[in-house]
Structure 1
């Protein structure tokens, strides 16, 4: 193992874990699991009241990453302004694709889901599963926008909302 690999993430860093979104590294612990000594990132997802232990040598492999740069945030917000692209596939297939995009941890993909599932007041109502996916994507996007901007989720939600409302219906 190289030294640079380990020092990529440090305690107190905010990171994005693909399946759970933004979390904060609380510590780096050494534990023995099944007789094998392991070094683990202890990541806290405060909003979800969840703690995750990720082996340091697997973090990059599973897609854990640092927060997006401000220009990626900008690109994600620009993505929101685009016209919704809805494939003519069956909902179950589309829902699966949306789920994969949300869990990819890729902010642009998450923004695409928000864009594609966003509804104005005049548009038809969302089904329960559409709403669930939309809210999951919106939450991931908002939390990362907030974390990059310094942690104000209310301001981030307002910013994302304004972009969605400003786009051409």
Structure 2
């Protein structure tokens, strides 16, 4: 169960902190909602507590896990053998999992692909979103700014 002050990751939006847990009545239905502040997007989101698992909201990874993911990010060979439509579908599925390791794989593979041949608009947008997800989580784990997290991501290569 999540509590106020917990650092969480919400797939497709990034990392944030639970600011409040409130009971609200919306369309005649009373539920408990979790209010999450997502700094990278400068927004608050309200999610019904009962749907947190279904939506893939999870605690941010610990620092050791993050370091392991960043090591793999820079030392495992990218997968570039798939046609772009298949690659896009696979990468979209990875992003939907909300796992930091999956987002890192998407970034690694798309950055490599971009060096080989320019990405199409959809993949450029996907790369940007995956980078934001990783940067937001690194920032939240280490209590640093997004710029510092982006530098840390670049530096660990």
TM-score bucket of the superposed structures, by smaller chain: 0.7 to 0.9
Show the counterpart of 1:4. none
| Distance across 2 between alignment mates of 1:157 and 1:120 | 20
Residue 11 of structure 1 aligns to a residue whose secondary structure is coil
| Distance across 2 between alignment mates of 1:37 and 1:54 | 13
Q: Does 1:11 align with 2:4?
A: yes
| Distance across 1 between alignment mates of 2:131 and 2:12 | 14
Larger radius of gyration: 1
1:116 deviates by 0.5
Contact 2:40 2:132 in 1 (8 A): no
Q: Does 1:161 align with 2:154?
A: yes
Q: State the TM-score, normalizing by the size of structure 1.
A: 0.81
* Counterparts of residues 113-152 of structure 1 (less than 5 Å): 113-119=106-112, 123-152=116-145
Distance 1:125 1:61, change over 3 A: closer
Contact 1:119 1:126 in 2 (8 A): no
Q: Which has the higher helix share?
A: 2
CA root-mean-square deviation: 2.1
5+ residue gaps in structure 1?
1-7
5+ residue gaps in structure 2?
none
Distance 1:55 1:122, change over 3 A: closer
Show the counterpart of 1:39. 32
| Distance across 2 between alignment mates of 1:134 and 1:79 | 18
Residue 118 of structure 1 aligns to a residue whose secondary structure is helix
Residue 32 of structure 2 aligns to a residue whose secondary structure is strand
Query: Matched residue pairs, number?
Result: 156
Q: Does 1:85 align with 2:82?
A: no
Bigger RCO (CA 8 Å, 6+ sep)? 2
1:148 deviates by 0.4
| Distance across 2 between alignment mates of 1:54 and 1:36 | 14
Deviates more, 1:98-107 or 1:118-127: 118-127
Q: Does 1:108 align with 2:85?
A: no
Residue 57 of structure 1 aligns to a residue whose secondary structure is helix
Contact 1:22 1:143 in 2 (8 A): yes
Deviations 1:89-121 (A, max 9, x none): x31221122122122210010111111011499
